[in-house]
């Protein structure tokens, strides 16, 4: 485990924020002043990331949870007040006091200053602290499968078994265990909902969607645009997903496709990696093959002292679920957390998180200000998802897959994209309803009923008969609705950009990778549409764009299935 780190207090930062606020700020001094502010914010961010990473690696530790809670409760709120004061001072300068490459940063800082409300600071801290209890609850989940206790992540390997009885027993055990947390998580969500409604009310906003939309710096599109994207996915992707599930049903030779039939490899390939080390070795070779710079950056993360690891990918009890990459701007690196069991999906997830790390490394090399690194998660997920796709060309040569297995993996990647897009639209639509239309006396049963209604809209062909209660609680399994509200459709928008990067790579691999790298280095210096243009894409999500991409995906899947069956 990570060695204990001293827990920073507000005293660690207060004097430096006060000194910045006291300085004379003019057009001539602005850029040096901004750099000192950026350095301070980097110190703060790294402290938070290290505390979160340490806690997520061992969710059973009360000491580590308390250290994170103290930081979120006692340090971040005071920092936010101090940062708001510095934002106001900067914004008082004439617009031409900053170079053109900082104009988008100024635009975002203006939005952040406008959306800041002092009366929300403490409530925000309490809400975020409460939301983090999800990780403790989910990290404690284990199930018994044939006399063996396994975590949910470890059970994922069993869901890929060619033995349908094993898959079904595993899936049922997971759902039974998840339902044990039903009342606890319903209560948690209702508590978070009430707090988020209060945040919106205190900010003078009509609802939490309107407030958090601006907190996420969504300045280039509207909630109506997102709902139009939902409709485009429903029209163009949902029918294709149904077709693919019928192909899968026929390949498996089953009467109806059940929830435990979705992850198994229809060609019967077993998990490719024996352990986490073999998985990480393969990821490193694939990244090296995409471009040597990516292999070098990954080795920088991997080759760390045991007392300060930046890469933790092996599944074990008491570890937070899911996967993420987070920056260490002071130490000039990133941490990656994952719970892997040696499946191909684990390789995909690790390459995804490595894509984030490559983005972070590019930003560090460019020397961007801390608050000019991020244009929005809609593009922030493009580097990770594009890396998943760029890696496909190297599964045989670098990951050690056979040609047939590599072809099958390519087909599965695109099949999963088609399945994922409706699920993202479903979860985003559910949160739109939650924050704008749900009645004031909404109950846990209401949350489930609405989710079930939307599931029938976006996944109408899936056979969940006999498991309606399990399906209605689908929103309780991932952390996003609890910890990262409205961070859902971002992944769907990012697939639009990632698929365009991949399409270019088919004809011009080197050119596609260089354009990808150049876009990563732009940081937050461009608008969201301009960032998509930088990777040869378009930020829209309209039906024309979605339909064209699905037509290309259909071609790839048809070709991939022919190759995998050859």
3-state secondary structure 166-189: HHHHHHHHHHHHHHHCHHHHHHHH
* C-alpha to C-alpha distances, 191 to 120, 320, 432, nearest whole angstrom: 16, 22, 17
Assign 522 to helix, strand or coil: coil
Low-confidence residues in the chain, pLDDT < 50:
1-2
Buried b (16+ CB within 10 A) or exposed e, 389-426: bbbbbbbbebbbbeeebbbbbbbbbbbbbbbbbbbbbb
Calpha distance 399→390 (Å, rounded): 13
Give me the helices (H) in 253-343, please: 276-290, 292-302
- Residue 530 token pair: 């301009």
Q: Please report where in the chains the tokens 């780190």 appear, as a residue.
A: 5
Look at strands 311-314 and 148-151 and give their pairing.
unpaired
Calpha distance 239→230 (Å, rounded): 14
Calpha distance 338→276 (Å, rounded): 10
| Cβ atoms of residues 287 and 123 within 8 Å | no
Assign 441 to helix, strand or coil: coil
Sign of torsion, CA 125 120 322 347?
negative
| Edge-to-edge strands, sheet with 324-328 | 311-314, 333-340, 324-328
| Cβ atoms of residues 34 and 368 within 8 Å | no
Assign 490 to helix, strand or coil: helix
| Cβ atoms of residues 210 and 200 within 8 Å | yes
* C-alpha to C-alpha distances, 286 to 2, 325, 414, 535, nearest whole angstrom: 27, 18, 19, 21
Assign 269 to helix, strand or coil: coil
Look at the chain and count its residues: 566
The number of beta carbons lying within 10 Å of the beta carbon of residue 98 is 17
| Cβ atoms of residues 164 and 261 within 8 Å | yes
- Residue 82 token pair: 């101090």
Residues 6+ apart with CB under 8 A from 32: none
| Cβ atoms of residues 291 and 282 within 8 Å | no
Q: Which neighbouring-strand residues pair with 326? A: 335
pLDDT digits (tens, 9 = 90+) for 294-345: 999 999 999 999 999 999 999 999 998 889 999 999 999 999 999 999 999 9
pLDDT number for residue 139: 86
Q: Which neighbouring-strand residues pair with 395? A: none
| Cβ atoms of residues 401 and 412 within 8 Å | no
Look at strands 333-340 and 324-328 and give their pairing.
antiparallel
- Residue 5 token pair: 């780190």
Residues 6+ apart with CB under 8 A from 333: 300, 301, 310, 327, 357, 360, 361
pLDDT number for residue 566: 55
Q: What angle, 0 to 180 degrees and rounded to 10, lies between the N-to-C axes of helices 14-22 and 76-91? A: 10
Calpha distance 394→289 (Å, rounded): 7
pLDDT number for residue 565: 55
Calpha distance 100→522 (Å, rounded): 13
Burial class (CB in 10 A: 0-12, 13-18, 19+), 517: middle
Residues 6+ apart with CB under 8 A from 489: 226, 229, 230, 378, 424, 425, 428
Sign of torsion, CA 278 284 287 289?
negative
């Amino acid at each position: 485990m990570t060695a204990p780190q001293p827990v920073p207090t507000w005293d660690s930062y207060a004097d430096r924020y006060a000194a910045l606020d006291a300085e004379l700020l003019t057009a001539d001094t602005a850029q040096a002043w901004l750099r000192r502010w950026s350095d301070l914010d980097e110190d703060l961010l790294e402290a938070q990331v290290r505390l979160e990473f340490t806690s997520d690696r061992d969710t059973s530790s009360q000491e580590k949870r308390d250290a994170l809670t103290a930081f979120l409760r006692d340090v971040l709120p005071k920092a936010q007040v101090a940062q708001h004061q510095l934002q106001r001072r900067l914004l008082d300068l004439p617009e031409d006091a900053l170079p053109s490459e900082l104009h988008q940063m100024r635009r975002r800082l203006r939005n952040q200053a406008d959306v800041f409300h002092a009366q929300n600071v403490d409530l925000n801290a309490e809400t975020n602290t409460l939301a983090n209890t999800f990780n403790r609850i989910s990290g404690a989940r284990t199930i018994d499968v044939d006399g063996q206790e396994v975590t949910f992540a470890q059970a994922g390997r069993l869901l890929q078994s060619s033995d349908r009885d094993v898959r079904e027993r595993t899936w049922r055990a997971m759902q039974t265990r998840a339902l044990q947390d039903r009342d606890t998580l319903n209560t948690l969500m209702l508590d978070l909902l009430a707090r988020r409604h209060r945040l919106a009310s205190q900010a003078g906003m009509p609802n939490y969607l309107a407030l958090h939309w601006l907190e996420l710096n969504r300045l280039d599109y509207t909630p109506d645009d997102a709902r139009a994207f939902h409709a485009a996915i429903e029209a163009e992707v949902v029918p294709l997903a149904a077709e693919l599930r019928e192909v899968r049903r026929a390949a498996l030779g089953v009467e109806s496709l059940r929830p435990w039939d979705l992850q198994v490899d229809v060609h019967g390939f077993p998990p490719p990696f024996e352990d986490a080390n073999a998985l990480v070795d393969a990821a490193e070779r694939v990244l090296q093959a995409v471009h040597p710079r990516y292999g070098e950056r990954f080795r920088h993360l991997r080759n760390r002292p045991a007392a300060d690891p930046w890469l933790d990918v092996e599944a074990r009890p008491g570890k937070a679920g899911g996967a993420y990459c987070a920056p260490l701007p002071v130490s000039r690196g990133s941490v990656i957390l994952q719970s892997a069991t040696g499946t191909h999906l684990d390789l995909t997830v690790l390459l995804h998180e490595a894509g984030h790390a490559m983005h972070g490394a590019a930003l560090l090399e460019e020397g961007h200000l801390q608050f000019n690194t991020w244009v929005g998660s809609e593009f922030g997920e493009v580097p990770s998802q594009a890396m998943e796709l760029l890696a496909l060309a190297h599964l045989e040569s670098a990951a050690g897959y056979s040609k047939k297995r590599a072809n099958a993996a390519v087909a599965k990647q695109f099949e999963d994209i088609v399945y994922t897009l409706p699920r993202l639209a479903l979860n985003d639509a559910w949160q739109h309803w939650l924050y704008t239309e749900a009645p004031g006396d909404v109950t846990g049963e209401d949350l489930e009923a609405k989710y079930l209604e939307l599931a029938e809209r976006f996944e109408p062909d899936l056979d969940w008969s006999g498991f309606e209660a399990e399906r209605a609680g689908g929103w309780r399994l991932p952390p996003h609705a609890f910890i990262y509200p409205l961070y859902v459709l971002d992944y769907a928008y990012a697939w639009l950009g990632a698929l365009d990067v991949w399409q270019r790579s088919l004809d011009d691999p080197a050119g596609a990778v260089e354009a990808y790298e150049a876009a990563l280095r732009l940081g937050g210096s461009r608008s969201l549409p301009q960032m998509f243009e930088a990777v040869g894409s378009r930020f829209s999500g309209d039906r024309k764009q979605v339909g064209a991409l699905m037509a290309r995906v259909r071609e790839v899947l048809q070709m991939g299935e022919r190759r995998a069956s050859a």
